[in-house]
Chains A and B, each alone.
Chain A
Amino acid sequence: MARVNDPELTKARLHLVVEEMYDRIVKGEPPTMTLPVRTKNNIGFDKKLGVYKYGKKRSTRDATSLGSAKNLLRALHVVEFIEEMIEAGKSSTLREMYYISEGWGLGKFGSQNESNNLAEDLEVVTSCLREDFKLRPEEDGARMIGNITVNELNRRGQWMTINARDDVGDSGYGVPYNVESEKIELKEHDVNFLMAIETGGMFDRLIENGFDEDYNCGLIHLKGQPARSTRRIIKRMNEEWDLPVVVFLDGDPWSFRIFASIAYGAIKTAHISEYLATPSATYLGITADDILAYDLPADDLSKKDIEALNAELSDPRFADGWWQDQINMMLEVGKKAEQQSLAKYGLDFVTDTYLPEKLGELGLS
């Protein structure tokens, strides 16, 4: 699936959703909306695409309870709103749509989360992307530093060339929310690999230590669970330039999930995994064995951490042996460690010792 980029087709697919409800009422039945189940129980590996996608399980939202009936009504309002935007040539952020819904009476959203989820639902049902719906995320994309040059179409409609090492300050190049070719062209690069980093502190540490130049790589700050555009630009650089991607995160169950969303596809966006996921990405650390091997200062796993790890054991994305070992080992040790715990051995330890050793194992140093 990729962008439909055809307003008429987008409208036609949205109308199918509306028709399902309408036809059910005509038949004397409660209106419904049918969509794939969006949980880990309904994602499977797509061999052709090399990523995890929703399976065949479908759920029907029917208007027999107040909650789901309201949801259907909201979906209709959203469809109408999208049509209006398509016709007027406008777009809005998801947050704006949430506020606009104040005027939808009974169909107004209770929280921004509801409106975000509904936008995703419609993407899933129609196989369109939210860009087709003229909806923009609020989320800000990543920061990037390294000898990478892109052309970006600016607000005045002019293409500008930006080198993410020479044309930016310490905060790096800010990845916009739209990284499709109509907005961003990947021009050229002189790096050997890309490294995605979870925390801002570590990102800044590597820059201060000149790691990107010493190891000739591009650094990308993920800001926690990465935004779609972050995952998308990693995917594009990986595909278009054939660059290896390594992922450097904290050593805890949540980092495992961040990695899975980068490499295999996130459960919430499994309908567009092939468009966002980078199957060849590698988990660099912190691994469960790093905690022991480097004797890192570690915290005890909380109850929630343990629950998350146990849930991951049955998550199809973590089904391979290496991940099962890592998860089980973390459960056994009962500890988790942050990236920045490496500072135990000094500020340069991460760039002088840890990363070279880890990259060496991958043949990248």
Chain B
Amino acid sequence: MAGIANKMASNQKQIAISEFFEKNKHFLGFDSLPRSIITAVKEAVDNSLDACEEARILPDIIIKISKIDTKKDILELVSEDNGPGIPQKSIEKVFGQLLFGSRFHAIRQSRGQQGIGITGVVMYSQLTTGKPTHVLSKIASEPTAISVKIGLDTRKNKAVKSEQDRIIWENEDLSLKEHGVRVTTRMKAKYQRGRQSVFQYLRMTSIVNPHAEITFIDPDGERFHWPRVTERLPRKVDAIKPHPHGIELGQLQRMCRESKDSRLTVFLRQNFSGVSMRAAKELCEASELAISMKPKSMKPDDVRALLEAFQGERMVNKKPIKLLSPPTNCLSPIEEMLIKKGLSKTIDSKFIATMTRAPTVSHGNPFQVEVGLIFGEGMAADKHVEILRFANRVPLMYQQGGCLLTKAIESVDWRQYGLEQAGGKGVPKGPAAILVHLASTNVQFTSEAKEALSDNEFVFEETRKAMLEMGRGLRKHLEKKKKMAKTREKFELINDILPAIAEKSASILERPVPDLAGSITKIMSAVICNETTAWNKETKQTDVSITLFNYTSRSRSYSLLVNWPEKAGAEMVGNERGGRKEAMGIWGWKIETLEPGEKAVLEYSLSNLEKGDWTETEVFFRGSQDVIGATKLDEKMLDEIRNQEKILEQTEGSDDSENDVTNSYEPGVVEGDSGQTTLFGGEN
């Protein structure tokens, strides 16, 4: 563990702008008293989550806020994690220097992209209370923890240490703390509740970090707890080299200046992603530079020419240079099932749809959009839906209206999907919450405050498409609910009311109770499918039961198909009727002919899932007569799904070959919707 901690620390470089901070603290989230405490919590939690993720530790985070002086608005923040800890020699740097962070210089998806970080908190504390911040840090390889107070000399961009000591760090239960960091700091700030609060920030954080265990103790001593719902850590992401389409002049100049490469082609191939040998040569040709040129000796005009070749303005044979897409394994989406879990642990509800779009690229930057929609009785029906925005797993809490993600939500006409929306524009109303997560190596914000994403047509389109898909799912759910209610009524009619009518009328007339079969067929005059999907506590499986009733006066035969979470790794067990796989996640059975009044029952269980993972099974049918409670199968859709599977299999096989020419793309072109079709698909 210490090895990792030491290595992480060595990656850090320093940039001296302490004074910049003091003058610009409003950019950095310390512009108002209520916001300052949120920012402080955010910096501490981001650090903890990032450190745990790199060290592959399941995070346990405790945040405690207390009021120290109500008159002067002084709060104390204690933030504790079980991360790898910070080695003694790095503590000063981590807490005492601005823009000190491994993240700033690497291109990958990370939480705090500009690395202002925890130093800002130390500085704000110093500026408003004059007091240093106390840091307790323990790494696994050392028996004791280091306890130190960190102040800041903002002119020299230097930490000022005091009262350094080594102590034994015990947990509440008197066991020894293995590793972790505890930060205790006081600052002028105001604790508030509501949409923009520490509580909301931590709640949102727990939704997108389902692997984290977060505890919060508010100033009134109330304890909130968001449990861990998965043992799976986010995928370890690789740093990638910049892609020529995403680079700016200044950055390119710096890269050339700092380059030790002897030839331009080597420089291009080794410092950029997506550049093959052929492309490197063509880039030199287009920018009229010698292949053997030393990057370090390039003049400003040369750099500019190269950039123009990057951007397709300089061409070879009147064609822009074809470049490969940057790899997308630098992204770490939360993934559908975990979004579902994260949402359902904080919001109690009936319907959840989630979707992780395939990764794609905009201006050389890989990005990926994920959305979730939760709908149900637990939420206010007459208010605007709650929008939960995230960029690289960090909640965005301010400037909702100006954010690209909000705009994408607002651009959808939600009325057709069962939500209220004045004029078909704006944030819809209804008992729902919408989650949007953008994972990207380069998140563009509207301002330094990093609260709203700036416009980007590709991200907008991806988000919008995902929203439409969510909407279709919601509409389907609502339609199904309505139908189910109707069906339930009919069943109550024939199972309860009709027998009661028969018995009562017979007893009043003192005659025998008549047989009901004929009346029932006439009343229902339909084929009805009843589905239940329920978690079985004892077997830890999800039990699915489907009953098909023939309440018509003719015999009927059908095939039934269901969707099931095959992709998420579920296994179908106890399926005694057999059937066959029709496509990925689609299972089908041929049902024997049902005579009037007969029924058929399908039963199976899904293992390898947890409670809440799978709550609703969609039933489709093949057959001529309509079935209430099931959807007629669209064979074209089924074919489409099968085709996509094939394509996916093929591309997975050739994933690692960067020289695959079919993988290239034009600047500004977003690749299509691979793997996104569902049985409900299609625009409306």
**What residues of chain A have their CB less than 8 Å away from a CB belonging to chain B?**
15, 18-19, 21-22, 24-31, 63-66, 69-70, 72-73, 76-77, 79-80, 83, 105-107
A77 cross-chain contacts in B, Cβ below 8 A: 504
**Interface membership of chain B positions 459-496, coded 1 if the CB is closer than 8 angstroms to chain A and 0 otherwise:** 00000000000000000000000000000011011001
Cβ A66 vs Cβ B490 within 8 A: yes
Cβ A66 vs Cβ B497 within 8 A: yes
B523 cross-chain contacts in A, Cβ below 8 A: 30, 63-64
Task: Report Cα–Cα, A19/B523, bound state, in Å.
Answer: 19
Cβ A28 vs Cβ B497 within 8 A: no
A80 cross-chain contacts in B, Cβ below 8 A: 504, 507-508
23 cross-chain CB contacts under 8 A = A19-B505, A19-B509, A22-B505, A22-B506, A22-B509, A22-B511, A25-B502, A25-B514, A27-B518, A29-B518, A29-B519, A29-B522, A30-B523, A63-B493, A63-B497, A63-B498, A63-B519, A66-B492, A70-B497, A76-B501, A76-B504, A76-B505, A106-B500
Task: Report Cα–Cα, A65/B525, bound state, in Å.
Answer: 12
B511 cross-chain contacts in A, Cβ below 8 A: 22
Verify if B573 is at the interface (C-beta below 8 Å from A): no
B68 cross-chain contacts in A, Cβ below 8 A: none
Verify if B516 is at the interface (C-beta below 8 Å from A): yes
The 4 A-B residue pairs whose C-beta atoms are closest, nearest first, are A28-B518, A76-B504, A66-B489, A22-B505
Task: Report Cα–Cα, A63/B493, bound state, in Å.
Answer: 8
Per a CB cutoff under 8 Å, which of B498, B507, B514, B522 touches A69? B498
Per a CB cutoff under 8 Å, which of A21, A30, A64 touches B505? A21
Report the nearest B residue to A62, measured CB to CB.
B523
Verify if B517 is at the interface (C-beta below 8 Å from A): yes
With A27-B518, A63-B523, A69-B501 known, 8 other A-B pairs at CB within 8 A are A15-B508, A19-B505, A19-B509, A22-B511, A64-B523, A76-B508, A80-B507, A107-B504
Cβ A28 vs Cβ B519 within 8 A: yes
Per a CB cutoff under 8 Å, which of A28, A63, A70, A73 touches B504? A73
Task: Report Cα–Cα, A322/B150, bound state, in Å.
Answer: 97
**What residues of chain B have their CB less than 8 Å away from a CB belonging to chain A?**
489-490, 492-493, 496-498, 500-502, 504-509, 511, 514, 516-519, 521-523
Nearest Cβ distance between residue B217 and chain A, in whole angstroms? Answer: 49
Report the nearest A residue to B504, measured CB to CB.
A76
Cβ B522 vs Cβ A18 within 8 A: no
Cβ A21 vs Cβ B493 within 8 A: no
Task: Report Cα–Cα, A28/B519, bound state, in Å.
Answer: 5
Task: Report Cα–Cα, A18/B519, bound state, in Å.
Answer: 16
Cβ B508 vs Cβ A63 within 8 A: no
Report the nearest B residue to A71, measured CB to CB.
B497
Q: Which of B500, B509, B511 gathers the greatest number of chain A CB atoms within 10 Å?
A: B500
Task: Report Cα–Cα, A26/B496, bound state, in Å.
Answer: 18
Nearest Cβ distance between residue A29 and chain B, in whole angstroms? Answer: 6
Cβ B497 vs Cβ A18 within 8 A: no
Report the nearest B residue to A15, measured CB to CB.
B509
B489 cross-chain contacts in A, Cβ below 8 A: 65-66
Cβ A21 vs Cβ B522 within 8 A: no
Nearest Cβ distance between residue B272 and chain A, in whole angstroms? Answer: 68
Report the nearest A residue to B525, measured CB to CB.
A64
Known: A15-B508, A30-B522. A25 touches B493 (CB 8 A): no
A31 cross-chain contacts in B, Cβ below 8 A: 498, 501, 505, 519
A66 cross-chain contacts in B, Cβ below 8 A: 489-490, 492-493, 497
Nearest Cβ distance between residue B499 and chain A, in whole angstroms? Answer: 10
Report the nearest A residue to B511, measured CB to CB.
A22
Task: Report Cα–Cα, A72/B499, bound state, in Å.
Answer: 12
Task: Report Cα–Cα, A229/B519, bound state, in Å.
Answer: 42
Cβ B500 vs Cβ A28 within 8 A: no
Cβ A30 vs Cβ B519 within 8 A: yes
Nearest Cβ distance between residue A220 and chain B, in whole angstroms? Answer: 41
A18 cross-chain contacts in B, Cβ below 8 A: 505, 508-509
Nearest Cβ distance between residue A79 and chain B, in whole angstroms? Answer: 6
Task: Report Cα–Cα, A105/B490, bound state, in Å.
Answer: 18
Nearest Cβ distance between residue A101 and chain B, in whole angstroms? Answer: 13
Nearest Cβ distance between residue B564 and chain A, in whole angstroms? Answer: 32
Task: Report Cα–Cα, A63/B504, bound state, in Å.
Answer: 15
Known: A28-B518, A29-B518, A29-B522. A73 touches B509 (CB 8 A): no
B522 cross-chain contacts in A, Cβ below 8 A: 28-30, 64
Task: Report Cα–Cα, A317/B277, bound state, in Å.
Answer: 96
Task: Report Cα–Cα, A26/B490, bound state, in Å.
Answer: 20
Task: Report Cα–Cα, A26/B522, bound state, in Å.
Answer: 13
